Amino acid sequence: MMTTRRQSFVPVAAESHFPIQNLPYGVCRRGDRDGPRVCVAIGDMVLDLAELDEVGAFERCSEVPSGALRATTLNPLMALGRAAWRQVRETVSTLLDREEPSLRDHDDLRRRVLVPRSDVTLLLPVDIGDYTDFYSSREHATNVGTMFRGKDNALMPNWLHLPVAYHGRASSVVLSGTRVRRPRGQVLPDGEDHPVFVATRALDFELEVGFFVGPGSRLGEPVPVERAPEHIFGLVLVNDWSARDVQKWEYQPLGPFLAKNFATSISPWVVPLDALEPFQTAGPEQDPEPLPYLRDPGVTEGRSTFDLRLEVAIRPEGAAEATTVCRSNFKHLYWSMAQQLAHHTVTGCDVRPGDMMASGTISGPDEGSYGSLLELTWRGSKPLKLAGGQTRAFLQDGDEVVMTGYCQGDGYRVGFGDVSGQVLPAA
């Protein structure tokens, strides 16, 4: 039997990223209210959950303590767990349903809790305690390995056995729209024996998707791979800016450091797992079979990832239009989020609400789906042509990078909005 797709009384265009099927969480500041407010996006509007909580809209949510939605970040909500998240989501979804009169027909309340997105300032939604960046795209790892070690040694021996990662810098995770200053660092020029200290000449973007930890874990107690989704609150788009020439000189033997710690941009809206579940799909086949602690039931059942379409565009300063340089998909990642979290905690390392884990660069099987300029231009040897006649090997000052992503449903989209940033000259 066919069912009617739920619709909101708030007008939502078919191409909008924020229909009632999404309801992503964020934190905003309103000009007529004090302090940051927990909110959700619906069409071109923002629903103020803090205001709704003050009028008792969540009193029947038994898993949601009084005042939990009046925090200044999403961390307290994240810590509550999936039962609470679903109660909040169902309450909000019901209030916004076009057949439900309790908010639709109450003008004063509607004006109090629903405000145009253009009238609010979006803030970093999470107090990020720790940030881990994975390296989970086989295509990306193969491309980079081929460039630096040759085709026969592209993948390191451990890569197909565990999700490789490094510990990033949480303090420099910034909100979409924050301008990023070109970093300086040590670089070893080709043919030279001694490094020089210069502004990077190989500034790059990295197309990634990150997830936020909800309920944490205790020190000494690993998170089993089959229970990992219980600890994942939601996803954001991530641009992990990279200085490739700095990275080339510094990364051996311990991996990235200054090449990536200067800025990591994230989108402002956190899309919950429940909104993405209709778009579950299979990831790549894993061969050899992972060790038992990494055997994700989702991989076996063909639902370990999401059909999430991703794009990257570059707009030079003053240009009339941006040029799309990459079209990829989250489903290309070899290691799943559940496997990433299980591996991260298998030693007994504890995680906390608000910890962020990013996927690493997401590259697909063809050149147009490579998620970094390092790959798209093959170390700068094949510059990209942009609209207006300009070319790029790596990013120039004034360039704006815009990443976007969405899952396509039947007549609707569940999207992330975008994550953007403009390059400023070195200090």
Domain residue limits at 117: 25-123
Same domain? 255 vs 347: yes
Total domains in the chain come to 2
Instruction: Indicate whether 58 belongs to any domain.
Output: yes
Distances from the Cα of 121 to the Cα of 72, 78, 118, 405, angstroms: 13, 22, 8, 21
Instruction: Indicate whether 15 belongs to any domain.
Output: no
Instruction: Indicate whether 337 belongs to any domain.
Output: yes
Same domain? 179 vs 252: yes
Instruction: Indicate whether 192 belongs to any domain.
Output: yes
Alpha-carbon dihedral 344, 346, 347, 351, rounded to 10 degrees: 50
Instruction: Indicate whether 285 belongs to any domain.
Output: yes
Residues 6 or more apart whose Cβ sits within 8 Å of residue 46: 26, 28, 39, 40, 114, 115, 116, 117, 120
Of 79, 104, 123, the residue at which a domain comes to its end is 123
Band (pLDDT 50/70/90 cuts) for residue 23 is very high
- What's the pLDDT tens digit per position in 274-289? 999 999 999 999 999 9
Same domain? 169 vs 309: yes
Same domain? 156 vs 106: no
Of 123, 148, 163, the residue at which a domain comes to its end is 123
DSSP string, 185-244: EEE--TT-SS-EEEE-S-EE-BEEEEEEE-S---TT----GGGGGGGEEEEEEEE--EEH
Same domain? 281 vs 155: yes
Identify the three-state secondary structure at position 299. Answer: helix
140 counts as catalytic:
yes
pLDDT at 3 over 60: no
Looking at the chain, how many residues does it have? Answer: 427
Same domain? 99 vs 157: no
Of 106, 123, 140, the residue at which a domain comes to its end is 123
Same domain? 187 vs 236: yes
Residues 126 and 212: beta-carbon distance below 8 Å: yes
Band (pLDDT 50/70/90 cuts) for residue 2 is very low
DSSP 290: P
Instruction: Indicate whether 110 belongs to any domain.
Output: yes
Q: What confidence score (pLDDT) does residue 4 get?
A: 66
Q: What is the mean pLDDT of the chain?
A: 97
> What percent of the chain has pLDDT above 90?
96
Q: Give the integer Cα–Cα distance in Å for 123 and 69.
A: 16
| Cα radius of gyration rounded to whole Å, the chain | 22
Residues 6 or more apart whose Cβ sits within 8 Å of residue 295: 225, 289
Q: Give the integer Cα–Cα distance in Å for 177 and 58.
A: 33
Q: Give the integer Cα–Cα distance in Å for 397 and 4.
A: 49
Q: What confidence score (pLDDT) does residue 306 get?
A: 98
Instruction: Indicate whether 19 belongs to any domain.
Output: no
CATH of the domain at 80: 2.30.30.230
- What's the pLDDT tens digit per position in 150-196? 999 999 999 999 999 999 999 999 999 999 999 999 999 999 999 99
Residues 6 or more apart whose Cβ sits within 8 Å of residue 182: 199, 200, 203, 397, 423, 424, 425, 426
Query: Is the pTM for the entire model greater than 0.75?
Result: yes
Residue owning tokens 């909000």 = 92
Burial class (CB in 10 A: 0-12, 13-18, 19+), 33: middle
Nearest to 132 by CA among 341, 361, 304: 341
pLDDT at 124 over 60: yes
Instruction: Indicate whether 175 belongs to any domain.
Output: yes
* Catalytic position from the list 140, 231, 332, 344: 140
